[in-house]
Structure 1
Amino acid sequence: MRGSEEDSDPEEALDDWFIESLKTYKDLHVYQLEHPTRVLEWTSGKTVCVAGYSASSKNEILELSLPLRLLAEQNKGLCAQRDFKVVHGGFSDAPVHSLKHIPGTRCAVSSDGVNSSLQIWDLGGDDSDVIRRSSCIEAKCESSDGADTGGRGGSREGRGRRLAAPLAPASEPRVLHGATTDDIQLTDIGTGRELYRLACAESEPLSCLQFLGDGAFACGSVNGSVLVADSRSSAAPVRHAAPAAAAAAARSSEHGEWSAAFHRSAVVRSSVSGQTVVSDLRRMDRCAAQALVEVDGGKHRGSLNVSWAPALEHYIALSGSSGLVQIFDTSLWGAELGPAHAQFEHRGHTVSSPEDDAIVTSHAWHSERPRTLLSAASDASVHVWDWNSQSERRE
């Protein structure tokens, strides 16, 4: 918590926030997991997967349905179900650091954050409420000097593998995955066959990996650079350098790491130091907009997450440096670097954490509901919330 809340009683601060939330949120629902999750993966417009990432015990993988009250367009007060509901569940022997649902299937792919193996999961159906691991793919990875690293390709950077699912169902389900820019592969899920491998001279740890179309994809590195390629072509990827001053920041500051997200032809890159840059993938030689955002006083304590709102033009969400999820309207930013304040802040994880030090581990926008987001924190809480547009800060 910040400001005067730091000196107040935690229960009193929580009560004050809930009273405030009656005006600032259209909907707000809180759920408590047994263990924290880094995964918030939509499996439909009404269901989401979560999974534990503990290295010391078995981890639950759950598919939760959203509260019916949230989904009701009218007469919300008549909805008896006001909580999340477990519809499918299972266990993983390994931690789940990332997970992607494959469109058009009841299948998901996960990575444990340590090695290059991928776990394939059957999410169950109407005839079964059990999530089972159906197979495992051992991705063949090569280091930048050409040496075969076997099943440990992801561990050389200590980050595990980033995953990307196609935007639409395919006749042969597949997944794009990689730990570094020279280690990106497209794999057939059913056979484990490698369909494509990116030929890239640079080896930079990935911060994100995302499909842009049928075969086109983009990735961002933790150094701030962006690569754009197409799995249907043997052409070399197009590499775009990090935003201006990013290289200098990486050399001079411990807060030089970047995260990125793509939406249509736009890319947003955000550094844990607060510099956030919006660019057009068709004109990467210039900055479309940028700002220096508030990131909890510059105290980076988690893994930075940035994402575009799929149904709200120009909006992004930032989390990972604190217990907050911050919403920004990038249309208010200029071409010159200047300070920007969040249009809205979700503080629920901060005020509800018993230890008062919860860090947001993940957030996800709803694909169709413009202001609805899910967020999860290190205290094992999961929130789904729809903020009231009237509560936005106007700059």
Structure 2
Amino acid sequence: MDEAADWLVDSLRLYHDLHAFELPGPTRVLEWTDNQGVYVAGCESQKKNEILHLLLPPKLSAENQGLCPERDFRVKHGGFSDKPVYNLKHVPETRLLVTTGPPGNSLQVWQVAEDSDMIKAVSTIAIHEAKSNLWPRIAVLVSKVPKVLHGTRVNDLHVTELESQNTLYMSGESDSEEEISSLQVLDADTFVFCCASGRLGFVDIRQKWGDSGRTTSSPGPGGELWCAAVRTSGLGSGPTIASLSSNGQLQLTDLRDLDHPVSTVQCRVSKPSPDWELLTVTWAPSLDGCLAISGFDGTVQIYDTMSWEKNGSHVEPLFIHKGHLFMDGTENSMHSMVTTHSWHPSKPRTLLSAAVDASLHVWDWIDPCNSC
């Protein structure tokens, strides 16, 4: 209890704002709709899981943070899924959502009602994957006609039009059966994938597979499992892909040269991730060179990549959010395991994070290098 008490005292100087909430169940989804709304979805097996569109408390969303009577999230829309939701994407400029999770034989398409508070299932996109223990990763291609990018393996990547369910692109000519861990769209025609092995790939759907882009010639170090995220702002300036391994190794790679990482460092993690599918790495949208990682324990770590040596160094986090460890009163690291986190779209140092105990935190951290 001493460590928890010390952290609570320290939190007064560590955060501008720190709010803790409780969801109906744990979530792996934190999908922003705008600066004031976020989608969450339950991820538990053998039960109905809620899909909720939450509005931030006025204190967190208002520009003028004066006296605000409401200090909790407000449910704007809600619905129920018969299967766990491991991934959810909102289709920009529409009221459509796409979800996926185990068993991985389909994608679900949802519509957020205009005239009620309901989120309703409208269609299912069948996935032909022989092994049911894998579930497809998804990303949305921004275009006039809503499209979803999805796949479980490199040779099973598809682009599907949501309304007609026509297949517009597929990677069927590839002989690679490596499992996909991350998909991220760059624009209407290009995307980046990361395999669980650590192999990276860049694809342009305007060209045939094989002529369409670049892949790394070899996977990452053996025995480690990987995820990745692309910095979508300033693509022409330096390394843009951050790859995170289950042992806490982090590589920065320039999108133009996938075979030669610009830097490789070891993050400060006490043990390998107990569930590599919870690994999350995200770039800060408004802080140059900052990224956050989670999925190792009950913390979220923030790093400043601008201060790193090129290779081989052990790097220290700029900030560690320990609220999930100490605010539930259990001091059980597995009970407080962080499932996902996300940066606020416009508030530079504000993040959301969720844990397996169904806690949801919103926190605005103070830069220790510029705390005055």
TM-score w.r.t. structure 1 length?
0.86
Deviates more, 1:87-96 or 1:259-268: 259-268
Q: Does 1:134 align with 2:112?
A: no
Could you report, residue by residue, the CA deviation over 1:279-321 in whole angstroms, capped at 9, with x for unpaired residues?
Answer: 10112343222211112x1242232111111221111110001
Aligned partner letter, 1:191: S
Q: What is residue 259 of structure 1 aligned with on the other side? A: 227
Aligned partner letter, 2:100: S
Partner Cα distance (1:85, 1:15) in 2:
30
Question: Which residue, out of 350, 355, 359, partners 2:325?
Answer: 350
Give yes or no for contact 2:304–2:318 (8 Å, CA) kept in 1. yes
**Residues 242, 269 of structure 1: CA spacing in aligned structure 2 closer, same or farther, 3 A cutoff?**
farther
Structure 1: runs of 5+ lacking an equivalent: 1-8, 142-151, 251-255
Question: Which residue, out of 80, 84, 90, partners 1:91?
Answer: 80
Partner Cα distance (2:299, 2:53) in 1:
24
Could you report, residue by residue, the CA deviation over 1:77-130 in whole angstroms, capped at 9, with x for unpaired residues?
Answer: 4122221111111111111111111111111000122223010111223x2111
Q: Secondary structure at the match of 2:154?
A: coil
Q: What is residue 200 of structure 1 aligned with on the other side? A: 174
Q: Secondary structure at the match of 1:350?
A: helix
Q: What is residue 185 of structure 1 aligned with on the other side? A: 158
Once the 2 structures are TM-superposed, how far is the Cα of residue 235 of structure 1 from its aligned partner? 4.4
Give yes or no for contact 1:41–1:99 (8 Å, CA) kept in 2. yes
Q: What is residue 6 of structure 1 aligned with on the other side? A: none
Could you report, residue by residue, the CA deviation over 1:264-290 in whole angstroms, capped at 9, with x for unpaired residues?
Answer: 341111111121110101123432222
Give yes or no for contact 2:214–2:258 (8 Å, CA) kept in 1. no
Give yes or no for contact 1:111–1:118 (8 Å, CA) kept in 2. yes
Q: Does 1:39 align with 2:12?
A: no
Partner Cα distance (2:344, 2:252) in 1:
21
Q: What is residue 5 of structure 1 aligned with on the other side? A: none
Aligned partner letter, 1:50: V
Give yes or no for contact 1:99–1:108 (8 Å, CA) kept in 2. yes
Once the 2 structures are TM-superposed, how far is the Cα of residue 242 of structure 1 from its aligned partner? 4.8
Q: What is residue 145 of structure 1 aligned with on the other side? A: none
Q: Does 1:360 align with 2:334?
A: no
Give yes or no for contact 1:301–1:321 (8 Å, CA) kept in 2. yes
Give yes or no for contact 2:34–2:345 (8 Å, CA) kept in 1. no
Q: What is residue 107 of structure 2 aligned with on the other side? A: 118
Give yes or no for contact 1:289–1:330 (8 Å, CA) kept in 2. no
Q: Does 1:215 align with 2:189?
A: yes
Question: Which residue, out of 126, 141, 144, partners 1:171?
Answer: 144
Q: What is residue 3 of structure 1 aligned with on the other side? A: none
Question: Which residue, out of 272, 283, 290, partners 1:308?
Answer: 283
Partner Cα distance (1:290, 1:194) in 2:
38
Aligned partner letter, 1:335: K
TM-score w.r.t. structure 2 length?
0.91
Structure 2: runs of 5+ lacking an equivalent: none
Once the 2 structures are TM-superposed, how far is the Cα of residue 134 of structure 1 from its aligned partner? 1.0
Query: What number of residue pairs does the alignment pair up?
Result: 357
Give yes or no for contact 2:298–2:337 (8 Å, CA) kept in 1. yes
Q: What is residue 325 of structure 1 aligned with on the other side? A: 300
Aligned partner letter, 2:350: T
Could you report, residue by residue, the CA deviation over 1:30-82 in whole angstroms, capped at 9, with x for unpaired residues?
Answer: 110121011111122211111111112111110101111112333x2412222
What is the correspondence of 1:218-297 to structure 2 with a 5 Å cutoff?
A: 218-236=192-210, 237-242=213-218, 246-247=220-221, 249-250=222-223, 256-264=224-232, 265=235, 266-295=240-269, 297=270
Aligned partner letter, 1:20: D
Partner Cα distance (2:259, 2:311) in 1:
15
**Residues 362, 217 of structure 1: CA spacing in aligned structure 2 closer, same or farther, 3 A cutoff?**
same
Q: Does 1:50 align with 2:37?
A: no
Once the 2 structures are TM-superposed, how far is the Cα of residue 200 of structure 1 from its aligned partner? 2.1
Q: What is residue 365 of structure 2 aligned with on the other side? A: 387
Identity %: 39
Could you report, residue by residue, the CA deviation over 1:178-212 in whole angstroms, capped at 9, with x for unpaired residues?
Answer: 11111110011111111110242211111100111
Aligned partner letter, 1:46: Q
Q: What is residue 147 of structure 1 aligned with on the other side? A: none
Once the 2 structures are TM-superposed, how far is the Cα of residue 335 of structure 1 from its aligned partner? 1.6
Q: Secondary structure at the match of 1:386?
A: strand
CA RMSD of aligned residues (A): 1.8
Partner Cα distance (1:327, 1:242) in 2:
28
Deviates more, 1:279-288 or 1:47-56: 279-288
Q: Secondary structure at the match of 2:8?
A: helix
Q: What is residue 310 of structure 2 aligned with on the other side? A: 335
Give yes or no for contact 2:43–2:86 (8 Å, CA) kept in 1. yes
Aligned partner letter, 2:177: S
Give yes or no for contact 1:372–1:385 (8 Å, CA) kept in 2. yes
Once the 2 structures are TM-superposed, how far is the Cα of residue 221 of structure 1 from its aligned partner? 0.5
Aligned partner letter, 1:183: D
**Residues 226, 54 of structure 1: CA spacing in aligned structure 2 closer, same or farther, 3 A cutoff?**
same
Once the 2 structures are TM-superposed, how far is the Cα of residue 261 of structure 1 from its aligned partner? 0.8
Q: What is residue 28 of structure 1 aligned with on the other side? A: 18
Q: What is residue 161 of structure 1 aligned with on the other side? A: 136
Once the 2 structures are TM-superposed, how far is the Cα of residue 241 of structure 1 from its aligned partner? 3.6
